[in-house]
Structure 1
């Protein structure tokens, strides 16, 4: 079992295709996860990206864009091991792994909320998805 296990999801009322430019921009990766080195394992275009992670963590991460209703769910996964020596005392180990997981969960939420804020900027609350033609859902329910 890996020490760092993050799984999160955020609904975004915009077409998944609108997110591909944001999530493929390497400058965003460096801003979202400044201490991690990401190597693309699979670029899935409007379905997301999978990376190999190195640096202070070794493992994998993924952004999966799942079409839902008039938008998509942005799924964020991170499965990794810290490369730094961890404490051996059980209580200290539990505390450190918890701290590391929390830090990565917060970074993931910041990333997903930034994507949501940017893609939904033109949408009014309760209105159709951003980018929907003539007020209709782009592509309809999927």
Structure 2
């Protein structure tokens, strides 16, 4: 960022551990149809497809900026890192409205991650081998 550039209004970071391999999580985000389910007010365009390591998008619509899902292999699973750096479009917002928007976007990011955790893990706990989980 140059000296004249301002930091984005929304700078959101989230991390969630999922007890599944990165390829399993990557498959969810690889389908562009899923993007409108997770971010219905945003138009995303991939500028870096990192395969099992995630995606980077430019963002348009209700926000303008960038977003990233980075999938880090850790132990027997994946840390899903989420980054959103963007500015709201439309009329100027008050500081209070901006705080509310940051909170809403952060909660939405965590809801996506926890929803994926619930579906993809299917009750498997960290440290329990996938085969042992299904035999359980």
| Alpha-carbon distance between aligned partners in 2 of 1:20 and 1:71, rounded to the nearest angstrom | 12
Q: 2:113 is matched with which residue?
A: 112
Per-residue CA deviations over 1:52-108 (Å, capped at 9, x if unaligned) read 000010000000001111111000000001111214xxxxx2101101101111211
Q: 1:100 is matched with which residue?
A: 101
| Alpha-carbon distance between aligned partners in 1 of 2:55 and 2:131, rounded to the nearest angstrom | 27
Q: How many residues align?
A: 127
The answer as to whether partners of 1:50 and 1:60 remain within 8 angstroms in 2 is yes
Moved over 2 A (4+): 132-135
Q: Secondary structure, in 3 states, of the residue corresponding to 1:18?
A: helix
Q: How far did residue 27 of structure 1 move?
A: 2.0
Q: 2:26 is matched with which residue?
A: 20
Task: Output the TM-score relative to the length of structure 1.
Answer: 0.83
Structure 2: segments with no counterpart, 5+ residues: 1-6
Give matches, 1:1-142, under 5 Å: 1-87=7-93, 93-123=94-124, 125=125, 127-128=127-128, 132=130
The answer as to whether partners of 1:51 and 1:61 remain within 8 angstroms in 2 is yes
The answer as to whether partners of 1:86 and 1:96 remain within 8 angstroms in 2 is no
Structure 1: segments with no counterpart, 5+ residues: 88-92, 136-142
The answer as to whether partners of 2:76 and 2:126 remain within 8 angstroms in 1 is no
Q: 2:4 is matched with which residue?
A: none
Provide the aligned C-alpha RMSD in A: 1.6
Distance 1:126 1:50, change over 3 A: closer
